[in-house]
Copies of this chain bind each other. A is one copy, B any other.
Amino acid sequence: MIQIIGIKGIPIIKPGDKIAEIIYNSIQNQSPLEDEDIIVIAQSIISRAEGRVVNWTKINPTPEAIKLGKELDKDPRIVSLILNESVSISRKGHGKLIVELESGIVCANAGIDRSNSGGINLVTLLPEDPDKSAKQIKEKIKQLSGLDIGIIISDTHGRPFRNGAINVALGISGFENGILSYVGKKDLFNYELESSIINIVDELASAAELIMGESDEAIPVVLIRGYKYKIGNDTSKSLIREKKFDLFR
């Protein structure tokens, strides 16, 4: 059995807050950590802790952003911020810019979010290096507890073809593999599998979102207990399909 536990009592995170300690103490108060637990953390609180918060009303939009903003009926100051975070535009329409980030992640509006940013004039940008943020938290918790735990920094992203965003892993630390390959294993009928490869960290992020919610639930940290995985040093790079293998870029 896997348990998905929402961690209560996480305070409003401010720039510079010691997020690993805050998360660790909140967990210890509620359901003390065990070896191989997994902690899923919403990107919004990492971004706030790391000061990745911008007052979008003070942005002076570029001419390109003004032009695109008109085309998409979108505030040019927000468009300016999106373009600044992106390496290329993949698609545009329906008030959205689908862009590629430096990490290779393709997502709407560069993950820039007006919700839970801390104020009506504020937006959060994605953490600059989500794997690094995850690793720092993992190491701090190891230091505090002596335990090896997996960390996932998650964000809800839309997808082609399907309505409704799902939570995905932006940054990871502590996993041998974010992707679990069954290739070469046998199925129930002894048939050798040829192509079954599962993105387990995205599935863990989605499982956590069921408890996080999106509005004022204030559950940005979720503990997953009982999922068997191998401890290691994989990064989010393995989660991103290279352009040359992607039929949709």
**A residues in contact (CB < 8 Å) with B:** 1-6, 12, 91-94, 96, 98, 105-106, 114-120, 156, 159-168, 178-180, 182, 185-189, 191, 193-194, 196-200, 202-204, 206-207, 209-211, 213-216, 218, 227, 238-241, 245-249
Contact = CB atoms under 8 A, between A and B. Distances in A.
B199 A210 contact: no
Nearest to A197: B164
Contacts of A96: 247
A119 B249 CA distance: 36
A207 B4 contact: yes
Query: Which of A161, A193, A240 has the most C-beta atoms of chain B within 10 angstroms of its own C-beta?
Result: A161
Nearest to A215: B185
A93 B244 CA distance: 11
Contact of A164 (B116, B119, B198): B198
Highest count of chain B CB atoms <10 Å: which of A12, A91, A114, A166: A166
Given A106-B161, A245-B94, A1 B2 contact: no
